[in-house]
A and B are shown apart, each in its own frame.
Chain A
Amino acid sequence: MISAVSIEGLGVARGDRPLITGFNLALEAGEAVALAGRNGAGKTSLLRAIAGLIRPSGGRVVFRSGDAEIPPEDAIARDAHLIGHQDGLKLSRSAWDEVLFQVLWSGGTAASARSACARLGLTNLLGLQVRKLSAGQRRRLALARLAASPRSLWLLDEPLAPLDRDQRAVVGELMAEHLAGGGLILAAAHDPLPVTARPVEIGG
């Protein structure tokens, strides 16, 4: 279980263009960090680099469990959620099929998927095809795996953008519970997060 993440001198480049250089951040259990920065500053690329999807141009990301260092691949594969701009849902499949796959794939169970959906007010929508759902409903389906499969590190990229006020409050409760349980949240967001978060500005 990840209890601390430290980002040491991380650099991210897209093509030949360096986006971020020498980025440092330490994140402890129970802590949330809100990444801010203008459009194109590299918030998404930073989150994807931490998740191991982009090879950093410099520096490294260290995941620790207690005092022991965990290899990044293991830490990410077992203990991190990444919610990106896209929800990863197949339009032609039913909402339940898709959410069930996402939850099982990230280590949850069918029962936990069902209760997470109930929590996010999705129960009545589960029989519908994903294409019939609104953007906010699709995002809630993707967020269901946060609640349904326990993983310590949440990497969130504009998680609340399509959500209405009530749903933001629900997600805020999920985040607060996650932090209280020793979780870590690193979120890129233009709007304030619904939990107390340390602001970090990236890009000049």
Chain B
Amino acid sequence: MSGLALIFRRELALSWAGGGGPFLALGFYIAMASLLPLALGADPARMASVAPGFAWLVLALASLLSLERMFERDFEDGALDLIALGPAPLEMTALAKGLAQWIAIAAPLALLAPLIVTALGAPMRLAPIVVICGLVGGLSFCFLGGVGAALSLGSRRGGVLIALIVLPLFTPPVIFGAGAIEAFGVGLDWRTPLLLLSAYSLAAVALCPFAMAAAARNAIS
């Protein structure tokens, strides 16, 4: 088995199983969504108008929750040393970690998102674009988040630090994703923001593994 496949299987098993896996993020998403009507009041029209943007933003926040585990566990128990001395370069490991995070956390969130949007009163026909944006934008959230996770290695209260590092970088995907959903809802051109979101995500997938690996190397040295 190649190094990449081996590390990917391990990362996937760890993200699914350890510490609640996707259920933590999903639970957070549902809890936040059920607070919105309490904060906004029970006017259905008002809720329907903010539901897509709110659901998109909370999806971004929910994907922050389990980032801390991406590198911290391997760093604390010494597995990162072992991984650094293995057959695949750390960049490859970072790519595997990002993809595993995407499958285990971002994809379940993307699949839950249309339910949230609809439950908050937005029209059902938004469902496909919400799922697509969730899956595409999820790549950005996982890979940029991974950079934050690797940079915060070894610091106390790493989770808060990750959020501070990563949230500014979430600005473009949040804008493009919300823009695509909004445009789709009112019948405007939604392809352009979706393409911009895709471009940002692909750039994140291509570049972030290098940043993650450099930060991880720095942490174990």
Given A51-B85, A80-B85, A90-B14, check contact A105 B3 (CB 8 Å).
yes
A-contacting 9-mer, from B71-79, B158-166, B173-181, B207-215: B71-79
Q: Is B78 within 8 A of A106, CB to CB?
A: no
Q: Is B86 within 8 A of A106, CB to CB?
A: yes
CB distance from B205 to the nearest CB of A (A): 23
Q: Is B7 within 8 A of A105, CB to CB?
A: yes
Cβ proximity bits A87-115 to B, threshold 8 Å, 1 near / 0 not? 11111110001000110111100000000
Within B50-90, which residues are at the interface with A (CB < 8 Å)?
73-74, 77-87
Q: In this complex, what residue of B is CB-closest to A76?
A: B85
Q: Is A82 within 8 A of B77, CB to CB?
A: no
B203 at the A interface (CB under 8 A): no
Q: Is A90 within 8 A of B1, CB to CB?
A: no
Candidates B73, B80, B86; contact of A77 at CB < 8 Å: B86
Q: Is B77 within 8 A of A87, CB to CB?
A: yes
CB distance from B151 to the nearest CB of A (A): 18
Q: Return chain A residues, CB-CB under 8 Å to B13.
A: 93, 97
Q: Return chain B residues, CB-CB under 8 Å to A91.
A: 77
Within A35-87, which residues are at the interface with B (CB < 8 Å)?
48, 51-55, 76-78, 80-82, 84-87
CB distance from A19 to the nearest CB of B (A): 13
Q: How far is the CA of A169 from the CA of B184 in the complex (A)?
A: 71
Candidates B18, B73, B78, B83; contact of A105 at CB < 8 Å: B83
Q: Return chain B residues, CB-CB under 8 Å to A106.
A: 82, 85-86
Q: Return chain A residues, CB-CB under 8 Å to B79.
A: 88-90
Q: How far is the CA of A35 from the CA of B45 in the complex (A)?
A: 74
Instruction: Give the interface centre of A76, A97, A104, A107 by most chain B CB atoms within 10 Å.
Output: A104
Q: How far is the CA of A35 from the CA of B160 in the complex (A)?
A: 41
Q: Is A53 within 8 A of B81, CB to CB?
A: yes
Q: Is B18 within 8 A of A90, CB to CB?
A: yes
Cβ proximity bits B1-43 to A, threshold 8 Å, 1 near / 0 not? 1010011001001100111000000000000000000000000
The contact sample of 26 A-B pairs, CB cut-off 8 A, is: A48-B81, A48-B221, A51-B81, A51-B85, A53-B81, A76-B85, A77-B86, A81-B85, A84-B78, A84-B81, A86-B78, A87-B77, A88-B74, A88-B77, A90-B14, A92-B17, A92-B18, A93-B14, A93-B18, A102-B82, A104-B6, A105-B7, A105-B82, A106-B82, A106-B85, A106-B86
Identify the 6 closest CB pairs spanning chains A and B, nearest first. Answer: A86-B78, A88-B79, A88-B78, A88-B82, A105-B86, A54-B221
Chain A residues proximal to chain B, CB less than 8 Å: 48, 51-55, 76-78, 80-82, 84-93, 97, 101-102, 104-107
